[in-house]
Amino acid sequence: MANCVQCGRKLPAFVLGRKICQWCLRHEAAQRGEEPEDAVQPLMRAPWAGGTSHSMALTQVFFGINVAVFAGMALAKVSLSDPSSSDLLHWGANAGLYTLGGDWWRLITCLFVHGGIIHIAINMWCLWSLGNLSESLYGHWTFGAVYLISGFGASLSSVAWRPHGLSVGASGAIFGLAGALIASYSLGEFSMPRAEVTATLRSVVIFVGYSLIFGSMSGRTDNAAHIGGLVTGLALGALIAKAAPDGSQWIRRVGVLLVVLLALSGGFMALEHSQDNAMRVQRAGEFLADNHPDQAITELERAIRQHPNDAAAHAVLAEAYSNQGEFAKAEAELQRLRELLPGDDRAAYDLGFLYLNENRPQPAREMFLQLLTRHPNSAGAHFGLGLANAAGEKYQEAVQEFLVVSKLNPNFEGLGYRLGLAQAKLKNYDDAIAAFRGEQQKAGDSYEIETALAEAYRAKAMTQQADEAMQKAAQLK
């Protein structure tokens, strides 16, 4: 279908000759005096012509929120040129590890957080320009809904495409405004010259194309968010232009906006359901690395309530409980892990060392013996069996196991120290001293090694060497 070259209204199909609508023809005839003086110009109000406002009230509100958040970050001593990831996360950045782990609100808060003064300056310039155009076209509340829903779509696209990345900024929502304008100017009717509509449309398309190309060449630009916002905006603009072009058709407009919002919400719920546990486990691992075991345990317990058979969650929760000294709970998690993964020996290995932490050498010894029946050349299992024998005061058996480890893996961490302790218990002080010195050469000086050396020297009546080792131990403590 063609458009009127003067006002942009849609024309009937198969219009020949000059493409001018009946309203413009009557209007021109009236201006030439060819219409009777009492002739009534027919009412043919274009859908976009009524109910719109040229006020930028909501654009200014969004602009102000962005600036206020950035000012708050500045007052909190966050770097204005290159904020750290931890600072951006604190202020509400979008990151799969958190967003898909329960912090769904980050899909919106990230739209008002920016990664530096240049970032916010560019985005606010774009928001001011496209916001003015969009708000005058759609009216306040529709503009606000398009902005936020497009931002939601942008954030969802980002976290789906880059679940391990981090995203901030208003650009996803701004691309949504651009997409909505492209669809609306392409499909809607306007009470303005078609040339003006075409020029505006061309400017918006150029902006989108340039931004996407620049983003693809930049290593830090989140083009996934830009494309997600653009597609969401295109859908919103097209549906509004076709289903509810008149601002007074508020029921239709609400319906259009709800349809898109519900579709995006459904997509997020599906994505969250598929990845929430993996993200929770990874997030808990980071809490453990940062020495926050309580937060890790909270995340993992929630993950296991939702997915009781998640082996990874049970494994990390066992580690968290063990770090907290809650050995009974850690043992229960490791036993459950062995049920879930009967062919995986890692849980049995960890369980053996857990028994040692609980000072239960006999079950630890049985566990390591079971492992050695399946893996006779496992240096870790021989080392664990050596520790269990030493804890059960079977020092000769312990020495034998440690010597096996030295053949399988001479650089096994802590081997020389443990071998020296067992040799000292057997009063083989020369062998003990040699083992301690060997560990010292591999691992460097430590308080524990110097203290053990001092005791071995003193047992051999080597008083001077014992005193020197104790002095060195005091310096290292």
Indicate whether 221 pLDDT > 60: yes
Asked if 153 contacts 229 with a C-beta cutoff of 8 angstroms, the reply is yes
Q: What is the mean predicted confidence (pLDDT) over 152-174?
A: 91
* Residue position matching structure tokens 């079971």: 370
- Active site annotation includes 171: yes
Of residues 132 and 33, the one with the higher pLDDT is: 132
Residue tagged 């954030």 (tokens): 155
| 6 pLDDT above the threshold of 80 | no
pLDDT greater than 60 at residue 283: yes
Is the pLDDT assigned to residue 52 strictly greater than 50?
no
Q: Give the CATH fold of the 60-273 domain.
A: Rhomboid-like fold (1.20.1540)
- Of the residues 157, 158, 167, 171, only one is catalytic, namely 171
- Residues 426-431: contacts with CB within 8 Å, 24+ apart? 426/395, 426/396, 426/399, 427/459, 429/456, 429/459, 429/460, 430/460
Q: Cα angle at 344 between 413 and 349, to 5 degrees?
A: 35
- Taking the C-alpha atoms of residue 175 and residue 244, their distance in angstroms, rounded to an integer, is 22
Contact 122, 131 (CB under 8 A): no
Quick one: pLDDT at residue 280? 80
Q: Please indicate whether residue 27 is annotated as part of the active site.
A: no
User: 94 forms bridges with which residues in the sheet?
Assistant: 167
Choice between 65 and 306, residue whose per-residue pLDDT is larger? 65
Task: Give me the pLDDT at residue 49, please.
Answer: 54
Q: Average per-residue pLDDT in the chain?
A: 85
Listed by start position, the domains of the chain span: 1-46, 60-273
**pLDDT (average), residues 361-388:** 94
Q: For the residues 45-57, what does the mean pLDDT come to?
A: 58
Q: Quote the tokens at residue 311.
A: 């082996």
Q: Say what the pLDDT of residue 75 is.
A: 95
Query: How much is the average pLDDT of 69-79?
Result: 94
pLDDT digits 0-9 by tens, 317-347: 998 998 888 999 999 999 999 899 887 888 9
* Residue 50 pLDDT greater than 50, yes or no: no
* pLDDT category of residue 208 using cuts at 50, 70 and 90: confident
Indicate if the pLDDT at residue 261 is higher than 80: yes
Select which of 157, 167, 211, 226 is catalytic. Answer: 226
**Tokens read off for 267:** 């997509």
For position 51, what pLDDT does the model report? 43
Instruction: Give me the DSSP letters along 99-168.
Output: HTTT-TTHHHHGGG--SSHHHHHHHHHHHHHHHHHHHHHH-HHHHHHHHHHHHHHHHHHHHHH-TTSEE-
Average pLDDT of the segment spanning 359-377 = 93
Burial annotation 232-251 (CB, 10 A radius, 16+ → b, else e): bbbbbbbbbbeebbbbebee
Q: Please name which of 468, 469, 389, 455 lies closest in space to residue 424, comparing C-alpha atoms.
A: 455
* Confidence label for 65 from pLDDT (cuts 50, 70 and 90): very high
Model pTM score: 0.63
Question: The tokens of 192 are what?
Answer: 């303005």
Which of 135-139, 191-195, 215-219 has the least mean pLDDT? 191-195
Q: Strand pairing of 94-95 and 166-167? A: antiparallel
Answer for the pair 106, 94: CB distance below 8 angstroms, yes or no. Answer: yes
